[in-house]
Structure 1
């Protein structure tokens, strides 16, 4: 039980990668504050984990006071807080022509500013318990797909924050801050996005090797397995690190621009 008795907030954990992280952390002995926007899905996650191991909070992270309420819920329910997983994010397609300022501000608010606010709200408790933060970024942080401009910008901001706080908070507060950048993961949201792009529902069964040398993309539980290491004491004093989780070297590759090319012809 690598996370025995640890209390962890996992944002965006009613679905996708966040849900997988919550499930894996609970299996490793942690108690979880489940968070998201989907109340019914959230209740299902809590039922799966067990009401003695999980508590649910449904609220938009960009709302005033949400970070503080999440932290207080962890303390009131489980008596402490050991770790924060900043996973919640808006994934939305846009480019220079379709990215309006209000749209960009909303993505920045949820994907970059809200994680900062939650770290800040949790810092006194994390300092007390020598806890840690794990930010869930994206390999798009380095440049991004042509039609993921705004999203990629927010993940770049998150990565810079991780590097910065991973140094300062570790030195000053004994709190480690690290990040994993997943590559292409088969989540519910990704399935919906590809359907909107005109691909068939089984698109993931036959992906071109340039995108998936293994013949498939990643599963959420594989990201969750990696997350446990960074949340557990076994990662020791490591802080300020960003690890890419993809099946091929990401930086420097130039795959086809045609989105339909993901599927073998």
Structure 2
């Protein structure tokens, strides 16, 4: 078991990628702090993992003191803290015309500021355990779709933060900081967004290979499987790295001439 007895906070873990990471981490022996906004879904995850392996914290990370309360719960429940997975994020459409200061601030607070301050709150305990941080970004960090402007800005910022802290925290304290940039993943929220766009719930079953060369998009469990390596000691001294998990290269991709706008990711 690659995470035996490690204690890990996974934000945004009541559903989607975060839920898959939490469940995979527990299957590898970890104790997990489940976090999100959906109390019923979070309680279900804790029930699946067992109270001996998981605790639940429901709170908006933008609220003052929320990061410290997550850390405190980990310490009170399991006596230590080994890793933080910053997965919680707001995915919201906007472009240059619809992005105002308040909207951008809202996304930055949850997607960028909250991960930074959770790392800061957790740092004394991560130093003690020689722990690790895994930030869950997005391939939109590289430039982003035209209608994901604010979201892409927030993910570009966290990618820079990962590289900065991955160097400084590892050099000074031995705490590793790495990042995964998922591509298009089939989460509950993605199904909900497509439903709001008027698509049937089966939209993902017949995707063009322009968008999904494999004939399907990525499952949350596949992102979770990759995450375990960065949380486990097997990843060694590697820090400050950003890994894209998508079906095609984000830089240098050969876009077919008949392609149109890439769908939301």
Contiguous gaps of at least 5 residues in structure 2: none
| Cα pair 2:145 2:264 within 8 Å, conserved | no
Q: How many Å separate the matches in 2 of 1:121 and 1:261?
A: 33
Matching residue of 1:11 = 11
Partner residue in 2 for 1:77:
77
- Please state how far the C-alpha of 1:252 moved relative to its aligned partner: 3.9
Counting matched residue pairs gives 262
Instruction: Indicate the SS of the match to 2:178.
Output: strand
Deviation at 1:261, TM superposition (A): 11
Q: Which residue of 2 aligns with 1:208?
A: 208
Partner of residue 64, structure 2: 64
Query: Counterpart in 2 of 1:235?
Result: 235
- What CA distance in whole angstroms lies between the structure 2 residues aligned with 1:260 and 1:225? 25
- Once the two structures are TM-superposed, the CA of residue 162 in structure 1 deviates from its matched residue by 0.2
CA contact 2:10–2:86 (8 Å) conserved in 1: yes
Aligned counterpart, 1:105: 105
Alignment correspondent of 1:166: 166
Q: Deviations over 1:120-161 (max 9, x none)?
A: 000000001100100000000000011111000000000000
For residues 182 and 259 of structure 1, what CA distance do their matches in structure 2 show? 15
Contact 1:20 1:220 survives alignment (8 Å) = yes
Structure 1 position 196, deviation (Å): 1.8
Deviates most, 193-202 or 12-21: 193-202
Q: CA deviation at 1:251?
A: 2.2
SS in 1 for 2:32: strand
Contact 2:145 2:262 in 1 (8 A): no
Structure 1 CA distance for aligned equivalents of residues 198 and 147 of structure 2: 15
Kept after mapping to 2: 8 A contact 1:199/1:260: no
Pair 1:199 & 2:199 matched: yes
Structure 1: stretches of 5+ with no match in the other structure:
none
- Aligned counterpart, 2:94: 94
8 Å CA contact 1:93, 1:147 repeated in 2: yes
Q: Deviations over 1:37-76 (max 9, x none)?
A: 0000000000001110000000000000001000010001
Alignment map for 1:101-250 (pairs within 5 Å):
101-250=101-250
Separation (CA, whole Å) in 2 of partners of 1:152 and 1:96: 12
Q: CA RMSD in A?
A: 1.5
Instruction: State TM-score, norm by structure 1.
Output: 0.96
- 1:41–1:205 CA distance, 2 compared to 1 (3 A): same
CA drift of 1:257 comes to 3.9
